[in-house]
Chain A
Amino acid sequence: MKSVLKGMAIAGLSTAGLAAMALASAQAEPLKIAMVETLSGGQSSTGKMFLAAVEFALTKVNADKAWPDGVQLLQYDNQGGASEAADKVKAAINDGAHIIIQGASSAIGGQITSDVQKWNQRNPGKEVMYFNIGAEAMEFTGPKCHFYHFRWNGNAEIRLRAMLTAMKNADVLGKRIYIIGQNYSWGHDVQKLANSYAKEFGYEVVGDVIHDVNKIQDFAPYVAKIKEANPDTVITGNWSSDLLLLMKAAGDAGLKVRFGAYWLDQPGNIANAGATALGHYNVSSFYPESNGAASEKFAEEYKTKMGAYPVWVQGHTIHGIWGLGEALKGLSGKAGDKISVKALAFSMEKAKVSTSLGDVSMRADDHQALIPLAVAVVSKDAKFKTDGTDMGFKPLKLISGADAAAPVSPECKMVRPPA
């Protein structure tokens, strides 16, 4: 009885499927990008920033007709959990997504990159790609690298090098460095790298500390500890409240140090820290002033559409999506063509896009993009003010993608499928 039912169902479904396929072949196939991002709950702010940037960048990709049948954005909320993300990745693939795009968390990125890898192993010919716009942990382009993962953002290494180079050039780095970071892979990456660069950049690490992630209400004890070590500069990979509280506590205690930070330009930080933020350095993928008129024009363009200047993670996200556009153009597809993600991945390995800050290109060896990085200092002289305050990010140095690049990790064994 059951087998009969099953047989009937299969027959019915396959007829429907055939009909659908016949329809589909006549219809155009847009490239589907699925954004599997944290869009609700405590950490949703970052996810929404990414989303805005992707939406903005896609309008250009579609206006350029990079893919003749258009690029379509689907949104999935991973609710900030890895297993939910796995679920939504499956949902996205079932909905026909070719590319999974995510950035707000390395934990979720880790889940997605291995899910994509497994899917591709099991479904040759129906590959999907993980388009990474923010998971910065080193392992994605190290031991976990694979052919269908592309990272369009920076990572702990290239961003730290850029920061140190710029600060050393401007002679604001000093000789004594303190490292404070959060207790997870990102914090550990920063800690390890900052220790290893001591000789190259001529400084001494006078102390380092790792603390709980976003659990601390009072940073005064940490500030007391930093003060004891008497550093010139404090390097920190902290973000969100951990950065804000650290900076505020340091300012309140009258600690005379410069911070070299990664995430100072997160919206709300400058306004909340107030004058305490002045004189601290930050490395990011975009500041409106970093490349004169070109980048200013781009920032204004973004603002008229989206209501705010592109900040924080948005610069490289937009550049990355444009890189995708270039990769799509490289396929020179015609209307009605079927999308081959494998071909797209090969094309993306050669993708290069010129932006208002200079060229962004993908490195084929480990699928880490070479992106220009901007280092800036919080100052009242900045032309573009942040968060409605009288302060902004005054550029210190713009470092080209090629100069910022770090060597390919020997742990990355990229396996390419036969073309």
Chain B
Amino acid sequence: MTRLRYLLILIALGVFAILPVFLSGNLLNAIIKMMISALFALAFTLAMGQAGMLSFGHAAYYGLGAFAAVHAMRFVEAGAFSFPTPLIPLAGAAVGFLFGLLFGWFATQRSGVYFSMVTLALAELLYTLAPTWNSLFGGESGISTIRGASWGISFGDDAHVYYLTLFWVTLATWCLWAFTRTPLGRLALALRDNEHRVRFLGFNTHMARTLIFALSCLFTGVAGALLAIATEAANYTAFSSKASADVVLQTFIGGAGTFFGPALGAASMTFFARVTSDLTRSWLLYQGLLFVLVMLFVPDGIGGLIAEHSKKVKKGGYKALVLPYLLCLVTGLLLLAGVVFLVESTHILLSDGYIAKTKSSGGAAVPFSFFGQDFNPRSWVTWSIPIGLLLAGAALMPAAMKVTGRAWLHATQSAPAQGETA
């Protein structure tokens, strides 16, 4: 099993290594951003998933890492000292760790929601103060710099940034994974589950929590620094509560209970935002729906779902699942298509441009085009499409759930003990 896992990881790394050859510049950039947000989510999970510290202000360390990197790059640019570009993330790591220690020392005095509120307050204060401190944060337009050439690499090309990011994300991920195997990493789990008992065992829980939080901030700082290297700038918006919230959301979409889940969640949500934001003006609505649906129906996230399958489904059990899952997919697509049709056509019909068209045509129905088709807004045919889609989806749903439930039982039945022993 472990051999297989190492092989899989090696293959994945190999694929990542040759990706730039095949991908367009846009996809390459997308993957850089996905890797960075994946690392951010993994670092966040170190505090959240393992030590139970739900931080609402992790963007603070992300932003600080970014600014540290940008300042380091500017010093190099100005010739103040020479520091190889590939090692710039170390600056982010150092600043992230320092501030993690400082802020973490305060925050970890409290636990639960109170801890979350302290982290939120610290990040909010930073967000408010940053744009007023011109020399350090460059006002609201931020600080801009340029990647210097080092080690014979220009770093002007996106592929160079890609490899730099890949290297650091891999290294940091390995460190984070290795951390879970250290005594402190084990202690983190204990702290999450029962802090009192850990204290009675003679550990200084405050110190331990501070240290774990600071380590989480260290890797967050690395992620921030990588972002700064990729965009060659840092801006105070990196501190915003939106950034803090994003990482929480991504982590839970991915599943905070598994190691790689958060990375998956962050990468897929980053990709989702990137693609849908250029397709529709209402993409935040779809994102909101996605959050609600995931929380309601997949509370353990993507990672949890995968873990559940790999743990419980017996050999050859997947065969029984293929058809039910296809049925679920069809149901989901029907519902999605219905919702998208309704939202997008409402969007068009209520826009100024469309209203102007109806006015200039003297109140007559003006067809609106959508997916390359013209629809008449006053015709029942038009509206029967989304309603039909929704009804069909709704009708299929109970059947799909029943069939899937049965298939799941069938696929997992004879392997009940594996989950416990593995």
A-B contacts, 12 listed (Cβ < 8 Å)? A2-B18, A6-B18, A9-B21, A10-B21, A39-B281, A40-B282, A79-B273, A81-B242, A83-B235, A83-B238, A107-B235, A307-B356
- Chain B residue nearest in CB terms to A55: B353
Q: 14 other contacts beyond A40-B282, A110-B140, A184-B139, with CB at 8 A cut-off?
A: A6-B21, A52-B353, A79-B273, A86-B230, A107-B237, A111-B142, A111-B144, A111-B233, A185-B140, A303-B356, A305-B353, A306-B356, A307-B352, A307-B355
Kindly identify which residue among B146, B233, B355, B357 contacts A82, using a CB–CB cutoff of 8 Å: B233
Q: Which residue of B lies closest to A39 (CB)?
A: B281
Interface status of B2 (Cβ within 8 A of chain A): no
State whether the Cβ of A217 lies closer than 8 Å to any Cβ in chain B: no
A124 CA to B21 CA, complexed, in Å: 23
Interchain CB contact under 8 A, B274 and A110: no
Interchain CB contact under 8 A, B355 and A94: no
Q: Point out residues on A near B: beta carbons under 8 Å.
A: 2, 5-6, 9-10, 13, 39-41, 44, 48, 52, 75-77, 79-83, 86-88, 90-91, 94-95, 106-107, 109-111, 114-115, 118, 121-122, 137, 139, 183-185, 212, 215, 303-308
Select A107's contact among B22, B141, B146, B352, beta carbons within 8 Å: B141
- Whether B131 and A308, one on each chain, are in contact in the complex, defined by CB atoms closer than 8 angstroms, is no
Interface residue from A39, A90, A184 paired with B131 (Cβ < 8 Å) = A184
Q: A39-B281, A118-B146, A307-B355 are in contact. Are A139 and B22 (CB under 8 A)?
A: no
A52 to B355, CA, bound (A): 14
| Interchain CB contact under 8 A, A307 and B231 | no
Q: Mark B243-285, 1 if CB is under 8 A from A, else 0.
A: 0000000000000000000000000000001100110011110
Residues on A with C-beta less than 8 A from B357 are 307
Chain B's closest residue to A77 (CB) is B277
A41 touching B284 by the CB < 8 A rule? yes
Q: B227 an interface residue at 8 Å Cβ cutoff?
A: yes
Say if the beta carbon of B128 comes within 8 Å of chain A: yes
Complex: A109 Cα to B144 Cα, angstroms: 12
Give the distance to chain A from B348, nearest Cβ to Cβ, in Å.
13
What residues of chain B lie closer than 8 Å to A304, measured between beta carbons?
A: 356, 360
B293 at the interface (CB under 8 A from A): no
Nearest chain B CB to A150's CB is how many angstroms away?
18
List chain B residues, Cβ under 8 A from A10: 21
- Return A333 CB to nearest CB of chain B, in Å: 27
Q: How far is the CB of B58 from chain A (nearest CB, A)?
A: 16
Report Cα–Cα, A302/B354, bound state, in Å: 14
Residue of B142, B158, B240, B357 contacting most chain A CB atoms (<10 Å): B142
A52 touches B352 (CB 8 A): yes
Assess whether B24 is interfacial by the CB under 8 Å rule: yes
CA distance A258 to B153 in the complex (A): 60
- A305's contact among B139, B231, B232, B356, by CB below 8 Å, is which? B356
Q: Cβ of A94 and Cβ of B26 under 8 Å apart?
A: yes
Secondary structure type dominating chain A contacts: helix
Residue of A nearest to B357 (CB): A307
Closest CB in chain A relative to B191 CB, distance in Å: 33
Does residue B196 face the partner (Cβ distance < 8 Å to A)?
Answer: no
Contact of A106 among B33, B140, B227 (CB under 8 A): B140
What residues on B are CB-neighbors of A109 within 8 Å?
Answer: 141
Give the complex CA separation of A212 and B235 in angstroms. Answer: 18
CA distance A13 to B158 in the complex (A): 17
Complex CA distance for A184 and B278, rounded to whole angstroms: 29
Chain B residues 131 to 150 lying within 8 A of chain A, measured CB to CB, are 131-132, 139-142, 144, 146
Decide if B273 touches A114 in the complex (CB within 8 Å).
no
Question: Are A122 and B156 closer than 8 Å at their CB atoms?
Answer: yes
Contacts of B281 in A (CB 8 A): 39-40, 44, 48, 77
B25 touches A82 (CB 8 A): no
Nearest residue, chain B, Cβ from A107 = B140
Task: Pick the contact of B277: A40, A86, A111 (CB < 8 A).
Answer: A40
Task: Please state if A86 and B17 are interface contacts (CB–CB under 8 Å).
Answer: no
Instruction: Please give, as numbers and ranges, the residues of chain A lying within 8 Å of B146 by CB-CB distance.
Output: 118, 121
Closest to A308 in B: B352
> Which listed residue (B24, B29, B360) contacts A87, Cβ 8 A?
B29
Min Cβ gap A255→B in Å is 28
With both beta carbons as reference points, the residue of chain A lying nearest to B17 in the complex is identified as A2
B186 adjacent to chain A (CB < 8 Å): no
Docked complex Cα distance between A62 and B362 (Å): 28
Contact of B232 with A118 in the complex, beta carbons under 8 Å: yes
Q: What is the CB-to-nearest-CB distance from B78 to chain A, in angstroms, rounded to a whole number?
A: 16
Residue B359 CB within 8 A of the other chain = yes
> In angstroms, how far is the closest chain A Cβ from the Cβ of B53?
26
Known: A5-B18, A40-B281. A95 touches B26 (CB 8 A): yes
Tell whether, in the assembled complex, residue A77 and residue B278 are in contact, meaning their CB atoms are under 8 Å apart: yes
- B132 and A183 form a contact (CB under 8 A): yes
Chain A residues, Cβ within 8 Å of B132 = 183
Which one of B21, B22, B231 contacts A83 once the chains associate, using CB atoms below 8 Å?
B231
Instruction: Check A306 against B237 for contact (C-beta < 8 Å).
Output: no
Structural contact, B235 and A82, CB atoms closer than 8 A: yes
Contact between chains at A86 and B233 (CB < 8 Å): yes
Bitwise, B15-45 to A at CB < 8 A (1) or not (0) is: 0011001101110010001000000000000
Contact in complex: A114, B144 (CB < 8 Å):
yes
Most buried by B among A6, A79, A305, A307: A307
Instruction: Kindly state the separation between the CA atoms of A361 and B18 in the bound complex, as whole angstroms.
Output: 50
Residues of B within 8 A of A115 (CB): 231-233
- In the complex, the answer to whether A90 meets B26 with C-beta atoms within 8 Å is yes
- Residue contact A75 to B144, C-beta cutoff 8 Å: no
Q: Which of A2, A88, A107, A215 is B142 in contact with, Cβ under 8 Å?
A: A107
Q: How far is the CA of A81 from the CA of B131 in the complex (A)?
A: 14
By a CB distance below 8 angstroms, the chain A residues around B158 are 90
Per the bound structure, the CA–CA distance linking A266 and B274 in Å amounts to 29
Contacts of A86 in B (CB 8 A): 230-233
A-facing mask of B356-395, CB < 8 A → 1, else 0? 1101100000000000000000000000000000000000
Docked pose: A81 CA to B245 CA in angstroms: 14
Q: Of the candidates A91, A110, A303, A308, which one forms a contact with B26 in the assembled complex, judged by CB atoms under 8 Å apart?
A: A91
Q: Which residues of A contact B277 (CB under 8 A)?
A: 39-40, 77, 79
B141 pairs with A106, CB closer than 8 A: yes
Report chain A residues within 8 Å CB of B354.
307
Please name all residues of chain A whose beta carbon is closer than 8 Å to the beta carbon of B238 when the two chains form the complex: 82-83
What residues of B have a CB within 8 angstroms of the CB of A76 in the complex?
Answer: 278
A137 to B138, CA, bound (A): 13
